[in-house]
Amino acid sequence: MRLFTLLFSLLSFYSAAEQLKVDGFATIGLVITDSDTAGIRQHISQPHATYKSELGFTNSSIGGQIEWQASSATQLVGQVLLKDNEEQNIDNIVQMAFLRHSFNANWQVRLGRTGLDLFMMTEHRDIGYTYTYDHPPTEFYAIVPHQNLDGVDIKYTHPLPHGLFSGKFFAGKSTAPIVSDDSFFWDVELKSLYGLVVEWQSYDWTLRANYTATQSGNENEQQKQLQAALTVVPDSIWPQKASLLDSLNIIGKRFNYSAIGARYDDSDWFWQSEISYIDSNSQVLKALTAGYISAGFYIDNHTFMATFAQAKSNNRTPPRPLISTPDLDLLYNTLIRHTNFYLVDQNTISLTIRSELSHSLALKVQMEHTAVNSLPSAFYLHRNLTSGDFDNSFNTLGISLNWVF
């Protein structure tokens, strides 16, 4: 955060700047579900979830953005957000803090903390008023906890006869928490992170593709403990020990993220879709495919939309040791919580209604039906798993007020 502190300390040197713009945004979100075992949350960094017979407000948030026009070509931009986090500190609250400079109409550079450009809604996913969904599709947007990039991006924009082409290269690092059951917390560091985004926009079309590569920069304490416990188990008792130790050795492992997206909107009806593929040389997440497609139409101040979203990985539950003892059983059950974290296979169908109450206030209602083939899942928090009566199919209602000010 030293870089970002420095960037905003520069504000004092621009007392004669042309313009200071301050905006705010907020969401009050209510969640109701009939799931007793899968606790509903929007992303895997959330420490709280909503279960059956509960009223959940953990999807509520409030934030603000400030933009200082230092000159005709240079701006300083910052965005802060208060939402459901395990730790409320300056690093989690500051979503963006960067210096943006335009060399000419074609070339632009940003330095500092920017949005990690993995998704079509990267730059505004925390501003609920800017999109139709009650929340971005869980199967697609909740997989990667990282929303920010600490580094630099360079963007080239070029007008074409029937649209606008842009290409962006970014590089840096990122840190974001993963929260799971039994108070599991891991502040995941991604190092050597770089990517390329290409996009074409016209009046009613947006087409984009991106590729991102990175390496894991740290491990959590539980992984170290599991490695130490597994090392002393004889190979004859657990023949797969070597591969399991490799799965626990996460530092330096490579992760690649590829995605394509498209949107068409002619002001009468629209559709939007994104598909992603993650692969790595880590056993924790060998390959995962996710995507969604949404279609809807406008009637006066109302928007009606249907969405289908799906995520599926090729992770497999590792075999048990050849013998059973209380210590080995405990080790195995703890181990598969790590190896099976990204063992996901589910889909959701949702219907959304958005109503514009004013030029700055929108009401959204979204009904979802989710079918889950694998629990526990990275997407949720859980309870009552020992009963064996899992909720593999459940419904969720989301109602939210979203405004900008």
Residue 19 near residue 364, CB atoms below 8 Å: no
Contact partners, residue 264, CB within 8 Å, separation at least 6:
204, 205, 206, 270, 271, 272
With vertex at residue 148, the alpha carbon angle to CA 153 and CA 83, rounded to the nearest 5 degrees, is 150
Helix 221-231, helix 326-339: angle, nearest 10: 140
pLDDT band of residue 104 (cuts 50, 70, 90) is very high
Element (H, E) at 280: strand 269-280
Average pLDDT (121-147) is: 95
Looking only at the bridges linking them, the beta strands covering 287-299 and 269-280 are: antiparallel
On the question of a cis peptide bond just before residue 319, with omega within 30 degrees of 0, the verdict is no
Token pair 């505004």 is found at: 124
Q: Dump pLDDT digits (tens) for 66-85.
A: 999 999 999 999 999 999 99
Dist CA 107 CA 143 (whole Å): 32
With vertex at residue 49, the alpha carbon angle to CA 315 and CA 312, rounded to the nearest 5 degrees, is 20
3-state class (DSSP) for residue 8:
helix
**How many C-beta atoms lie closer than 10 Å to residue 351's C-beta?**
14
Predicted confidence at residue 282, as pLDDT, reads 84
Q: pTM of the predicted model, to two decimals?
A: 0.90
Average pLDDT (160-165) is: 94
Residue 168 near residue 69, CB atoms below 8 Å: no
Predicted confidence at residue 9, as pLDDT, reads 54
Contact partners, residue 246, CB within 8 Å, separation at least 6:
283
Average pLDDT (147-152) is: 97
3-state class (DSSP) for residue 315:
coil
The yes-or-no verdict on residue 124 having pLDDT over 70 is yes
Which has the higher per-residue pLDDT, 212 or 18? 212
Dist CA 46 CA 303 (whole Å): 28
Contact partners, residue 389, CB within 8 Å, separation at least 6:
37
Which has the higher per-residue pLDDT, 304 or 229? 304
Identify any residues that bridge with 302 across adjacent strands, giving them in sequence order: 299, 355
Q: Dump pLDDT digits (tens) for 346-386.
A: 999 999 999 999 999 999 999 999 999 988 899 999 998 87
CA 248 distance to own-chain centroid: 23
**How many C-beta atoms lie closer than 10 Å to residue 128's C-beta?**
27
pLDDT band of residue 16 (cuts 50, 70, 90) is very low
Fold of the CATH domain 105-397: Porin (2.40.160)
Q: Dump pLDDT digits (tens) for 230-243.
A: 998 998 999 988 88
Average pLDDT (156-178) is: 96
**How many C-beta atoms lie closer than 10 Å to residue 183's C-beta?**
8
Element (H, E) at 6: helix 2-9
The yes-or-no verdict on residue 340 having pLDDT over 50 is yes
Q: Dump pLDDT digits (tens) for 23-40.
A: 999 999 999 999 999 999
Token pair 């070597």 is found at: 242
Average pLDDT (6-17) is: 50
Which has the higher per-residue pLDDT, 206 or 282? 206
Token pair 């924009």 is found at: 157
Residue 186 near residue 177, CB atoms below 8 Å: yes
Predicted confidence at residue 3, as pLDDT, reads 47
Residue 268 near residue 298, CB atoms below 8 Å: yes
